[in-house]
Amino acid sequence: MDKNVMELSVVVPIYNESENLAVLHRRLTEAVSALTDRYELIFVNDGSRDDSFPRLCMLAAADPHTVYVNFSRNFGHQIAVTAGLDYARGQAVVIIDGDLQDPPELIPELYRKYQEGYEVVYAQRAKRKGESWFKKVTAKWFYRILRKITNIDMPVDTGDFRLIDRKVVDCLKRMPEKNKFLRGQIAWIGFRQTAVLFERQERLHGKTGYPFSKMLKFALDGITGFSDKPLAWVTKTGFCISALSFGIIVYALCAHFIFRQTVSGWTSIVVSSMFLGGIQLFSIGIIGEYVNRINKNVLNRPLYIVESTNGTETAGF
Ligand code: UDP
Ligand code: MG
């Protein structure tokens, strides 16, 4: 192989991980340098509010393998990973979280599977430690429901921690959607995929950058990006409710003209109008989520703005 070819890139999104950076850098370097000396560690600083960025600059100054990409503000985890992929030059690219929940020591195992010929080697959680029951339960059900309502074979219990081949990175770059859901996109792309099991650790320091609002947006991106079933549900519910209302109208007319007993009382009216109002709002909400995503894609803004970097973009959107 050509001596100048970069063999392995590691992409790490960083949002307020200042206390984790030194350990992270050391453990990544140990794990990756054992595999090859043509590697790079790409840290994407996603608008951290702590001193992650100055610390990254220090690491980059001392280590020629370290690349930093500094965003102008917080753009979100999926966008940070996307930027990392745009800057990655490696033939194989590992995506890993920056809080050490994903152990860097698993990378050699992912790399071995890659050398066996797999284009996607994802790390599957056998166990997850130190996360709230709420997160575990919602995540568990979300991925199972998502699998049911989308037509693609999305593996359960996997995050973005995985190794992907250059071919897959190039395919991802040809998918210009603005609402990224990388694990779904990678499943959609296909190729030979396999899993390596691991135990997910607690985050070393700091707290999660994924509050409920971000989790919800992420979940909606997954659903709207890969399924149009919710729109079909809206249509079907509308149809059923119309049929039901038609029945009620017939009943009301018969009651009035044939049996001469006009239905009295407001309870039924209130209940049915509340019910209908609720269904209508919910349906408009679902449609709105899709329209909003169409709008974002029509606006066609850049996905992220880079303030400074010591790397070079390898081509992208
Ligand atoms: N992250 C990011 N931007 C954000 C939120 C998180 O780049 O807006 C990074 C974060 O630094 C970490 C990874 O994404 O490396 C996963 O985030 P986190 O650990 O907070 O999520 P959790 O593991 O709790 O789901
Ligand atoms: Mg985490």
State pLDDT tens for residues 10-30: 999 999 999 999 999 999 999
Residue nearest to atom 2 of ligand 1 (CA): 77
Cα–Cα nearest to 196, from 154, 251, 252, 158:
158
Our answer on whether the CB atom of 99 is closer than 6 Å to any ligand 1 atom is yes
Our answer on whether the CB atom of 159 is closer than 6 Å to any ligand 1 atom is no
State pLDDT tens for residues 275-297: 888 888 888 888 888 888 888 88
Tell me which of 41-50, 204-213, 252-261 is least confident: 252-261
Give the chain's radius of gyration (CA, Å): 25
- pLDDT greater at residue 315 or residue 306: 306
Two structure tokens written together for 21 = 């950076």
* Residues in contact with 148: Cβ distance below 8 Å, sequence separation at least 6, in sequence order: none
Residue 150 CA, distance from chain mean position? 15
State pLDDT tens for residues 111-145: 999 999 999 999 998 877 777 888 888 888 888 88
Q: Say if CB 37 and CB 5 are below 8 A apart.
A: no
Return the axis-axis angle of helices 229-257 and 267-299, rounded to nearest 10°. 150
State pLDDT tens for residues 180-205: 999 999 999 999 999 999 888 888 88
Ligand 1: atom nearest CA of 208 is: 20
Cα of 229 from ligand 2 centre, angstroms: 30
